[in-house]
Structure 1
Amino acid sequence: MEFRFAEPNDLKALAAIRGTDDNSESYWFNRISGYYHGTHSPQLALTPRVIIIATDDFRVIGFVAGHLTRRYDFDGELQWIDTIPDYRGRGIATSLFQLLKNWFIEQGTKRICVNCASDNLVALNFYKKNGAVPLNEYWLAWEDIGQGL
């Protein structure tokens, strides 16, 4: 397994990973491409952003994305984290999250937020297991993303 920064030719694979939910791959390709190229920005997002991917034999199997922000007066936001179903439960999301945490720390950020649907128990448990606390009904946060490193 290898981890690296995403490149433009990876975006289709990222859309395929996200395209397994209620939205189509074309929806996700447009959204992820816009995020990557800076033409689509979440509310109060700042320019510095990153997408880190996990590969297995050159196949993209997961990714994490984050950016600096001013949302809720935080420093950074975890935008997406996902792995393909066949690779879940192997610690890939945890490794990706650790790499994103390192990126945030390199950017000088400390306070990070993430949006999560209240019925997405897998994501909620993952974030809480990794130190996030509820901010409000739809958001969780880390007051110090570097805590516990």
Structure 2
Amino acid sequence: MEIREATDSDAAAIRSIAHDSLNSTYTAFLEEDTIDDAIDQWYGDSLTDELADDRALFLVVERDGEIAGFSQSELVGQQANTGQLLWLHVHPDYRGDATGVRLLVRTREALLEEGADGIQCFVLADNEGGNEFYRAHGFEQAGQREVEIGDETFTENRYVEAGLKDDGWDAVDELSVDGETIYVSYGEAARGTKSPFYTAYKSEDHNDRYAWFCGNCDSIDNAMDSMGRIECNACGNRRKATRWDASYL
């Protein structure tokens, strides 16, 4: 899995994924013509300008060489210090395999790296799956606003990060890696040369630290020395040495 900033050459794939994602999720309360008009408005000729906007952030996620989803965010406020995640679309064929949560995690990290002090996420109130997704990954509802789509007005829920714990963002995902069940804590990250490493636990209560989960290739096959250097044996992702002893690994 590779997550990167979108380029102009990704525009057609972004439009296609938005179309398939919206039609698979929103047709229960949006007419197909309304969805088509919205896609033309949001991801039509103006998309190139959006991709070039310094305050906009589009990330795409690739699986097996194909773009499987994208996120659309922006930095707002007088000092551009609030990160707003407006849309997170995953193609229906790639849902349920952690693609969405990994895209959420990387989008949050990228917004913080760009100077955001906090992250807000928006999802239509009628999208039950989308609301549950944010609640399950460390966010809580903090308000609502009205948005216009086509000729209709809808309620959109605003989510913010739930009360942060001492060790950071409380977003944990249960994954099966190499036949083992692990619990990956995305709030406990270490910067790597290709993608962050995340702390993995053997138990859901976080009492048994187990390994580092490579955010670049989804592997826990890595090596660490006494100075804290980590190298993924599968893809070569590396973390430089630190002064902390992480000998529990």
- TM > 0.5 between the two? yes
TM-score normalised per structure 1: 0.80
Gaps of 5+ in 2: 23-31, 145-156, 171-186, 188-249
User: Structure 1 stretches (4+) deviating beyond 4 angstroms?
Assistant: 143-146
SS at match of 2:89: strand
**Mapped partners of 2:63, 2:73: distance in 1:** 22
Aligned CA-pair RMSD: 2.5
Structure with higher Rg: it is 2
CA contact (8 A) 2:112 2:118 kept: no
Larger strand share, 1 or 2:
2
Name 1:43's counterpart in structure 2.
none
Structure 1 segment 1-149 matched on structure 2, within 5 A: 1-20=1-20, 21=22, 22=32, 23-24=35-36, 25-30=39-44, 32-38=47-53, 47-70=54-77, 75-137=82-144, 138-142=157-161, 147-148=169-170, 149=187
Tell me: higher relative CO, structure 1 or 2? Use CA pairs within 8 A at least 6 residues apart. 1
1:116 positional shift:
1.5
More helix by share: 1
> Which secondary structure state, in structure 1, belongs to the residue aligned with residue 124 of structure 2?
coil
Q: 1:77-113 CA distances to partner (integer Å, 9 max, x unpaired)?
A: 0021111101100000111111111112212323221
Provide the identity percentage: 21
Unaligned runs of 5+ in 1: 39-46
**Alignment: residue pair count:** 140
Scaled by the length of structure 2, the TM-score of the pair is 0.50
| Aligned mates of 2:4, 2:92 — CA distance in 1 | 20
